[in-house]
Amino acid sequence: MKLFCVECGKETDDLLNGMCIDCYIKREELMKIPGRLHLTICPTCGSVRYKGEWKKKEFKDAVKEVVEKAIMVSPYLENKEIEIDLIRKGKTLYECKILLNGNIKGKPVNSEVYTELLVEKKTCLTCSRKAGKYFEAIIQLRTEREEEHRFQEVLEELKAFIREYQLEGRDVFITNIKEVKGGIDVYLSDNHLAKKIAQDIHSRYGGEKKASPKLVGLKDGKRVYRVTYLIRLPSYTTGDILSDGKDFYYLKSMDGKKVHIVNLMNWLELTCERKFMKNFSVVGSREMIKEAIVVSQSKEEIQVMDPDNYKTIELKKPRSVHFGRTARIVKTENGIFLLPTQKL
Ligand SMILES: [Zn+2]
Ligand SMILES: [Zn+2]
């Protein structure tokens, strides 16, 4: 069957809307866009709203997405490429020039349209909650040991957990950090994640954990609770020097249930259930561990320089390992101990 273009009458193999390719490109609009586009942006954090949901996005990318959603292009267009030029026309108004490139049945085509972009500023949910000091949960960190830096360490860990959740796109933030007697209170915007974070902290540091929900009201017919998670950190932590009254130990690592300690006399490693940790007392923290310069060493012995008085100390190696330039030592009232090499 022969096909003829309705515009120019030319015989053709392919009809697009009844026309040959040349007439189609000449006559038809290759792209259409509404006269005005809208974009809502949070002036505080720059989040962009799409269909009622706030998303973190670069302004440029947000504009591109809005344009691509609003634009209508010829169904015959292939290898579509869109370029957007924005010219600021007012406080919230932009002129938007859109360049389209592509091809139709192998023929390169391009088109150019203009529209307006109206940017509306509205504070997003997260920012308004932050401003209103909104919180759903409190994580209370307590310890028997009054040491500033321990809380700082756990707090940094907690912040790292939150950053991870934020990177996953979860909407969680710290509303407030309060120093209180015996510890710190961390106010969090999301109860569900606060619960997970409390678990994360607890499984890393051990100790006691308790959750106490408090009914604060109703929302959409559901009871709304504010939950306080109390974490009582154990008196010991990684890097501590412990004593059972007889020997000295180095606390190498720990998890939610078990503690790994090293006997400093013989470097034997022991794994201890949390509940048996009450048999140990903390004699010092990691600050007790000193880096000492190695003077000489044999298979069984090592001579190091005491960093406090530069005297040479001779110590027995519990195991025949080779030390590098330095060795870690601990001075206790019961003598000086050599710590295993970092690898052990
Ligand atoms: Zn034609
Ligand atoms: Zn915001």
Q: Which ranges constitute the DSSP H helices of 71-147?
A: 125-131
Query: Residue 197: in which H helix or E strand, if any?
Result: helix 191-205
**Three-state SS annotation for 36-66:** EEEEEECCCCCCEEECCEEECCCHHHHHHHH
pLDDT reported for residue 344: 53
pLDDT at position 93: 94
Per-residue pLDDT of the chain (344 residues; tens, 9 = 90+): 789 999 999 998 889 999 999 999 999 999 999 999 999 999 888 888 877 788 888 888 889 988 999 999 999 999 999 999 999 999 899 999 999 999 999 999 999 999 999 999 999 988 888 888 899 999 999 987 666 667 888 899 999 999 999 888 788 899 999 998 888 999 999 999 999 999 989 888 888 899 999 988 888 888 888 999 999 888 888 889 999 988 999 999 887 788 999 999 999 999 999 888 889 988 888 888 999 999 999 999 999 999 999 999 999 999 999 999 999 999 988 789 999 987 55
d(CA 50, CA 105): 34
Closest CA to 174 of 200, 221, 139, 125: 139
Distance 105 CA to ligand 1 centre (A): 14
Are residues 89 and 64 in contact, defined by beta-carbon separation less than 8 angstroms?
no
Task: State the distance from the centre of ligand 1 to the C-alpha of 79, rounded, in angstroms.
Answer: 23
Find the 276 Cα to ligand 2 centroid distance in Å: 49
The ipTM of this complex is 0.80
Half-sphere exposure of 333 (CA within 13 A, CB side): 6
Q: How far apart are CA 225 and CA 126, in angstroms?
A: 19
DSSP annotation of 19 reads: B
pLDDT the model gives residue 250: 93
* Nearest C-alpha neighbor of 136 from the set 211, 48, 233: 211
Kindly identify the ligand whose nearest atom is closest to the C-alpha of 55: 2
Residues 49, 55, 61, 67: is their CA dihedral positive or negative? negative
Q: Which of 278, 282, 285, 263 has its CA nearest to residue 207?
A: 278
Q: Read off the tokens for 255.
A: 């998890």
**Which ligand has the minimum distance to the alpha carbon of residue 20?**
1
Q: Which ligand has the minimum distance to the alpha carbon of residue 125?
A: 2
Residue whose tokens read 């060795």: 327
What CA–CA distances, in Å, run from 143 to 24, 58, 206, 284, 319? 77, 43, 11, 16, 36
Spacing, Cα 145 to ligand 1 middle (Å): 88
Give me ligand 2 centre to Cα 128, in Å: 7
For residue 237, the CA-to-ligand 2 centroid distance in Å is: 38
Reference 117, options 163, 85, 141; nearest CA is: 85
C-alpha dihedral over 180, 183, 187, 192, to 10 degrees? -150
Ligand nearest to the Cα of 130, by number? 2
Which structure tokens are listed for 6? 């309705």
How far is residue 256's CA from residue 261's CA, in Å, rounded to a whole number?
A: 15
Short-list 151, 183, 149, CA closest to 287: 149
Q: Which ligand is nearest to the CA of 15?
A: 1
Ligand showing the shortest atom-to-Cα distance for residue 28: 1
- The closest alpha carbon to 184, from 226, 149, 214, 135, belongs to 149
